[in-house]
Amino acid sequence: MNKLQVTSDKIQVITYKKLKVWQESHKLALLIYSLTRNYPKSEIFGLISQMRRAAISVPANIVEGQARKARKEFIQFLYIAKGSLVELEYFLELSLDLRLTNKAVFESISKQRMLVGRLLEGLIRKLRS
């Protein structure tokens, strides 16, 4: 459910919580928090911290960009969110290689990450047109 109206250079969204991309990226952040709860305590300042920061950066940048109300700025923040999403992709790969997670969990979270990526791309395309 995208309640987004674009007029010239202005963006109007009733609330960011209505944006499907925010909803799905928030779910992804919750999944990452749940996943990293089981990581070894020795990773608290390493991989756990990095993964959580990257995961929450995605919905946070969507929120901040939407709040700016200017199309160009919103797009810029969506690109930052995309960068964080790609960073998270690497951390998930590393977690799998280090055997901190299993293939089934990795694939499940990766599907959610890919969904968020597609939604970000779609919103960027809509805002650029």
3-class SS of residue 69: coil
Q: How far is CA 53 from CA 44, 56, 122, in A?
A: 12, 5, 24
On the question of pLDDT at 15 being above 90, the answer is no
Q: pTM of whole model > 0.85?
A: yes
pLDDT in tens, 78-103: 999 999 999 999 999 999 999 999 99
**Crossing angle for the helix pair 71-97 and 20-36, to the nearest 10 degrees:** 30
pLDDT at 1: 45
Domains of the chain and any CATH numbers = 4-128 (1.20.1440.60)
pLDDT at 103: 98
pLDDT in tens, 25-79: 999 999 999 999 999 999 999 999 999 999 999 999 999 999 988 899 999 999 9
pLDDT at 106: 97
Cβ neighbors of 89 (< 8 A, separation 6 or more) are: 110, 113
